[in-house]
Amino acid sequence: MARAKFSTSPEALNAILREAIPLFSQSGFSGVSMRHVAKAVGISVATLYHHFPNKQNLYLRCIEEAFAVKAEGLSEVLSQPGTLEEQLQLFIQRFTNLMSEDSHFRRLLQRELLDGDETRLRVLARDVFQTQFKGIIDLVNRLAPQCDSHLMAISVVGLVLFHLESTPIRQFLPGGRAEHNDPEIIATHVTQLLMKGVFKCGD
């Protein structure tokens, strides 16, 4: 991601991002000002602008930072040895666990998709999510070469995310049980669903 040349003191940047991520998660891009962030961190607005030239730069850095640990973990999983089925299962387990543990990141992603700002979405797709998404495409393409690998990759991610996002209402729907909120149960279900049904497309 293109970044302006500003001081990269780890302590200062971590303090800013630590406060800014939940603010953007709760109120979205338009609901947070640089003044809000500066107040939360306990610094002046001028100091904040010293580190980030504008709000969009700060916002994109927040999403990148929130995704960084997940990206590292997912890349590690996608490079693990094993059968294609084992790799898929391991990826879904790791992805489900990582996403279930970070509601801030999930809300940031949801808000971005709802806002639909093309400039920010292009940057996120290119500079934040592209490497891992390519890894998923490669995996599903080897698992089901007869299927559209892009749509299949989206389906893998979407199945996990929707299970997590539907948690508040699921308990009130017929058949809903508390264990359905367990990331391990969700991961196992999604893996079985994909392996037994979806990856049979075109057969």
Task: Please check the confidence at residue 178 and state whether its pLDDT lies above 70.
Answer: yes
- Tens of pLDDT, residue by residue over 106-120, are 999 999 898 889 988
Under the banding of pLDDT at 50, 70 and 90, the label for residue 199 is low
Under the banding of pLDDT at 50, 70 and 90, the label for residue 25 is very high
- Tens of pLDDT, residue by residue over 125-177, are 998 889 889 999 999 999 889 889 999 999 999 999 999 999 999 889 999 99
CB 38 within 8 A of CB 45: yes
> What class, spelled out in words, does domain 10-200 have in CATH?
mainly alpha
Asked whether the whole model's pTM tops 0.85, one would answer no
Under the banding of pLDDT at 50, 70 and 90, the label for residue 100 is very high
CB 104 within 8 A of CB 66: yes
Helix 55-78 vs helix 10-27: crossing angle, to nearest 10: 100
Q: What does the alpha-carbon distance between residue 127 and residue 114 come to, in Å, rounded to a whole number? A: 19
CB 149 within 8 A of CB 141: yes
Q: What does the alpha-carbon distance between residue 113 and residue 16 come to, in Å, rounded to a whole number? A: 24
Q: What share of the chain is helix, strand, coil (3-state, %, to 5)?
A: 75, 0, 25
**Structure confidence at residue 3 (pLDDT):** 38
Name all contacts of 86-93 with Cβ < 8 Å and 24+ positions apart: 87/139, 88/139, 88/140, 88/143, 88/156, 88/191, 88/194, 88/195, 89/187, 89/191, 91/136, 91/139, 91/156, 92/156, 92/160, 92/187, 92/190, 92/191, 92/194, 93/184, 93/187, 93/191
Q: Which residue from 47, 27, 23 is spatially nearest to 37, judged by alpha carbons? A: 23
Q: What does the alpha-carbon distance between residue 42 and residue 96 come to, in Å, rounded to a whole number? A: 35
For residue 43, how many other CB atoms are within 10 A of its CB?
17
Average pLDDT, stretch 177-197?
Answer: 90
Task: Please check the confidence at residue 4 and state whether its pLDDT lies above 50.
Answer: no
Instruction: Read off the DSSP letter of residue 126.
Output: I
**Structure confidence at residue 73 (pLDDT):** 83
- Tens of pLDDT, residue by residue over 45-78, are 999 998 999 999 999 999 989 888 788 888 888 8
- Mean pLDDT taken over the chain: 87
CB 114 within 8 A of CB 29: no
**Structure confidence at residue 5 (pLDDT):** 38
Task: Please check the confidence at residue 9 and state whether its pLDDT lies above 80.
Answer: no
